[in-house]
Amino acid sequence: MVCLGNICRSPTAHGVLEKLIQNKELSNFIEVDSAATSTYRLGDHPDPRSIEAAQRRGYNLEQQVTRQVSANDFEEFDYVLAMDADNQRHLESAAPIGSKAKVQLLLSFSSDATESVPDPYFGDAGQGFEKVLDLVENACQHLLEQLQQELANTKVEH
């Protein structure tokens, strides 16, 4: 999960997907992480407003620490999912030639027609973070269904 600063959107997506994975007892099979395309806030924890909004819905973001996307992420992960088109373009240009990761928008998994998760950092303290959660929960639910299908296909093939 990747956004510009790794303090609002991507940690929220990370926390939501991580909880869904735990609920399905798939933590041994699916790993999730989040990162930034920028270096603005490296080493920081998520924005307190993101933490609060997520906690109200049962997600824990407090242990996350901001880091920047690395070349290794494109080999370690099957998907590198951007929160918006600008970050997707950055990721596509940063991806090493021949890397295995699929770079795409998180909301490409959503049943909503929205393409980008809006950045709530400078907006309304409550509504923006709730909107991020709404969009991310929907997309992560569908993403997990896709990942479960891929896991099932891998088990059949082996």
Catalytic residues: 3, 9, 119
Dihedral class, residue 71 (left if φ above 0, else alpha if ψ from -120 to 50, else beta): alpha
Q: Taking the CB of residue 26, how many other CB atoms lie within 10 A of it? A: 15
Residue 139 vs residues 27, 75, 109, 145, 154: alpha-carbon distances, Å: 19, 23, 5, 10, 22
Query: Do residues 29 and 154 touch, judged by C-beta distance below 8 A?
Result: no
Decide: 50 and 136 in contact? Cβ < 8 Å.
Answer: no
